[in-house]
Amino acid sequence: MMSVQEEVEKSLSIFKNFYDFIRIVDPIKKQVIYPEYENKEEINVCYKFWDKGKNCNNCICFRSLIKDDTFLKIESKDGKVYMITSCIFNKDNKKYVLELIKDLSDTRYLIDEDKKLRLELLIEKINDELS
């Protein structure tokens, strides 16, 4: 029997060219279980990637779990803008969330360099209002 990681790697290999990051998250523990990190002793909470010390205000991982549906949001980090898609799936009677993360920053026709800061503030405001 294949592990969750092996199954996802096999099933989603075609998407590796479309997304910058593919993660599997345990939505209850908020723990990233794929990709596995070198330091297995370190707790790899999902919001650590976003340099947050707590859950995201607009946590689509948890929303996917509760609503059993797919969600999309925009986040910013270090001057970059990301699109995140989350969807729930079951494996061995346990629910996991698949997160597909795409860096939109290099999409020049989408984001003008002069407007990046205003866009980041707008994203933060929208995510705060949706929480």
Domain that holds residue 77: 4-130
Q: What is the pLDDT of residues 66-120, one digit of tens each?
A: 999 999 998 888 888 899 999 999 988 999 999 999 998 765 545 566 666 666 7
pLDDT 10s digits, 20-61: 888 899 999 999 988 865 555 556 889 988 888 888 888 999
The tokens describing 82, both together, are 């990301």
Distance CA(99)–CA(3), nearest Å, equals: 18
- pTM higher than 0.85 for the full model? no
Q: What is the pLDDT of residues 4-26, one digit of tens each?
A: 667 767 777 777 778 888 889 99
CATH number at residue 125: 3.30.450
Contact 101, 82 (CB under 8 A): yes
DSSP class of residue 36?
P
Residue 123 pLDDT more than 80?
no
Number of compact structural domains in the chain: 1
Give the number of other Cβ atoms within 10 Å of residue 69's Cβ. Answer: 12
